[in-house]
């Protein structure tokens, strides 16, 4: 059975990194954007990282510009924005595609392990669904990720255990991470 440890990704300097380097840790893998309505998620993500990193927790940040061009900067510009505005210290990787023919294999794997189940109920979520569907129509059956700040929780064995859409309450994400850390 495949795990996230079977994948390699590029860091923000273009160097290949094996996710096997994170073996034994609980991971939260996130596709991000600096100009999105969900960009403030960086704040609770960083707070979570600071609180839990010494317990074997890592956040892996993958900028992506596929959703309404909301991450147009270079890797260095994105990194500077995140560190200055939100004080992020967790690892940030190179900008990637998460959908389509050029989708990073890691994100295709994550999404097939935990497929999209909806943004939740309510008018705001219905509006996001309409906007996301229009944006992702061009990717057809390779529209793995529906919007920025989709989060995948990975256990210490490298197995994908949960998927959180950007509309999920960050308190619920924190509780799921804490529960995974004590397993």
**Predicted confidence (pLDDT) at residue 1 exceeds the cutoff of 80:** no
For the chain, give the mean pLDDT: 94
Q: Provide the annotated active-site residues.
A: 36
Return the bridge partners of 61, or none. 30, 92
Q: Which CATH number fits domain 4-181: 3.30.300.30, 1.25.40.10, 3.40.30.10, 1.10.357.10?
A: 3.40.30.10
Question: Which single residue is written with the structure tokens 């509780």?
Answer: 175
* Residue count (the chain): 183
- Tens digit of each residue's pLDDT (9 = 90 or more) over 166-181: 999 999 999 999 999 9
Q: What is the DSSP string of 13-47?
A: TS-EEEGGGGTTSEEEEEEE-TTSTTGGGHHHHHH
User: What is the per-residue pLDDT for 124?
Assistant: 78
Among residues of the chain, what percentage have pLDDT more than 70?
100
Domain boundaries, the chain: 4-181
- Tens digit of each residue's pLDDT (9 = 90 or more) over 102-152: 999 999 999 999 999 999 887 778 888 888 998 888 898 899 999 999 999
């Amino acid at each position: 059975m495949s795990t996230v440890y079977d994948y390699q990704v590029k860091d923000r300097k273009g160097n290949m990194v094996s996710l096997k380097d994170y073996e034994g840790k609980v991971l939260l893998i996130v596709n991000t954007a600096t100009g999105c309505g969900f960009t403030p998620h960086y704040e609770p993500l960083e707070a979570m990282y600071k609180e839990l990193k010494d317990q074997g927790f890592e956040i892996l940040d993958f900028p992506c510009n596929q959703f309404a061009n909301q991450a147009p900067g270079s890797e260095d510009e994105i990194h500077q924005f995140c560190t200055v505005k939100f004080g992020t210290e967790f690892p940030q990787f190179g900008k990637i595609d998460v959908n389509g023919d050029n989708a990073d294999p890691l994100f295709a794997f994550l999404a097939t392990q935990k497929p999209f189940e909806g943004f939740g109920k309510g008018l705001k979520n219905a509006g996001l669904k309409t906007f996301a569907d229009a944006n992702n129509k061009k990717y057809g059956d390779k529209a793995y990720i529906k919007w920025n700040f989709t989060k995948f929780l990975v256990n210490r064995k490298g197995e994908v255990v949960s998927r959180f859409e950007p509309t999920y309450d960050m308190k619920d994400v924190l509780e799921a991470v804490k529960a995974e850390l004590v397993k």
